[in-house]
Structure 1
């Protein structure tokens, strides 16, 4: 029964990954926290496992979304290269930072961060004017920060990157597509790092690869890869304004959900 739940979660995460370029982590992480708690996994490592498993899944959802966005010629590869390099550096630092912070503080920060992003996007301009992006160095620095923050929360980078690119006046569909490509780089770095750092931890349940819980990963990937393709197609059929509004509301709801799960 729990495997079926993982498959349903994967379908939702994949759809959101393709639609918003976010990797699905903002949905996967809180859902996995709940599922792992119900399975009786040691609460001290539940959030770390949720982050690691989410990042591993993002590797697959990103590939599916990239394929569709590339067909639409929406990925801005000149932005992907410097941002992705910065994100790889930031993600390595982020993994090591996350393991030094109590899980409850990470979870609360995750919720507050999602709410901040949603409000920032709601109050920003339409994002359909001339782009206002920095040079290669600025893009790399932004990538380092995005990678560091994203691996802390297991969100793949898309949440912050889409918001930042949109606020810099990049059209929403191009921001989503570019974030999908960048998310693949950070997911690989974050997932591998979590697998190595969690290796041999006696609190981990059976069938774990470091902090990555393989049964959950298998169930999620089984449906998320296909769902991401459909999400990418839908993203290109919606107006940039509507896509941006939906993205902001999704972040707001998930942020409140994570905060309430800490307090109640």
Structure 2
């Protein structure tokens, strides 16, 4: 259902904080042309935490409009309040999206039973497929494999984005769920190894910067052409690392701005633009990759 390279798309913003619709349209079209298999709109990288709900829904609607059905669009619908996640899901289900990405509720640290109740309520609110999203580095609460296995029994819960970076989780998950349950990596540094060990794809921050390489890497891995996949991954491995020297999406936005893909590298407070040293590090990487001139 959801396989290959899915970009965790940034949300471009103008210096005054408004959504940069022109840059958003250009980014979506670039991903279509670059072979990206799908777009995750307004997830963590899309600054879901600082977009009010009406703007959140509007950005997803724009991405759907610009994609024109050429790639799948998954809408971030996570929230730490179950009622809010349900509301977002029901509103965005009115758009022509392909599914939802729903994160473990953050800050309030729910128990495993609470996670089960939360995700079952969210998944039952619409008829669209739901990908669970486990990223304990941000949410603090860690969704355990037994919890994933229980949730996988829900007919609308079709997969998991695992951003733990722990490859043993993939083996555990695959042994606990049906064969059609989708396992996607949410950690670029281990994404290639994740796919080579049986994962179905990635939801990638790096794909914002190198969409063609990420798409090709995933296609090779899905064909079991692991040497080719690893070769591509090795060529961008340092990028995976350097995009996270400051909190995401600070660095990918700066990189896209320097590449001329966005009018500005603006972020919503409390996120701010990167330190000068961080700017230099990512710019040097872009030069080495041939994405900007020295």
The normalised TM-score by structure 1 is 0.32
The normalised TM-score by structure 2 is 0.30
Greater per-residue helix proportion: 1
**Rg (Cα) greater in structure:** 2
Greater per-residue strand proportion: 2
Question: Could you say which structure has the greater relative contact order, defined with CA pairs below 8 angstroms and 6 or more residues apart?
Answer: 1
